[in-house]
Structure 1
């Protein structure tokens, strides 16, 4: 995997508190030169509106540094939330890290 690619794996509930941590993690990735950030939500049990806002803010942080952010491993609750809020139009979502590596990183080489 490219050194410009970072994977973030939050866990638990993605709410206001978890969202603040996610934004800090994204800022750290961008500060260290990451141009591609994958947020793996496999360990996330629940996302509320604050968590959704944090994901959008995180994407804006990455885009402001000319990077790209992707998401993978959505559970059923998060999939439903993404569908209801049309977030699947904003984020490029992969089934898991393997699909991301196979479909996106292979193109980058």
Structure 2
């Protein structure tokens, strides 16, 4: 199976107000034939609980379509949230986009 990677780069604060935008981007990427999504959070400054819920929700959507989703470039504050909520065990996280590409 060919792997088509789509990189999504949300920016600013990832909260409930961005949830629909992210879901739409994920649906669009999957509909266009991408089977691997990389959520590059390099421009994301903060993630709150509803933003984290959105990431979990889109991960479920991606997995339900037999696709894969990865996360990269999280800042220390977001990393702490992922660790406190054990989401670092749910998501496969790469240091940056280059590390993700090197693993492919």
- Normalised by the length of structure 2, the TM-score is 0.95
Unaligned runs of 5+ in 2: none
C-alpha separation between the residues in 2 aligned to 1:23 and 1:76? 25
Q: How many residues align?
A: 103
- Normalised by the length of structure 1, the TM-score is 0.91
Unaligned runs of 5+ in 1: none
Following superposition, the deviation at residue 33 of structure 1 comes to 1.1
CA-atom RMSD in angstroms: 1.1
Following superposition, the deviation at residue 28 of structure 1 comes to 0.6
C-alpha separation between the residues in 1 aligned to 2:14 and 2:40? 12
* Counterpart position of 1:22: 22
Structure showing the higher helix proportion among its residues: 1
Could you list the structure 1 runs, at least 4 aligned residues long, displaced by more than 2 angstroms after superposition. Answer: none
Secondary structure of 1:39 counterpart: strand
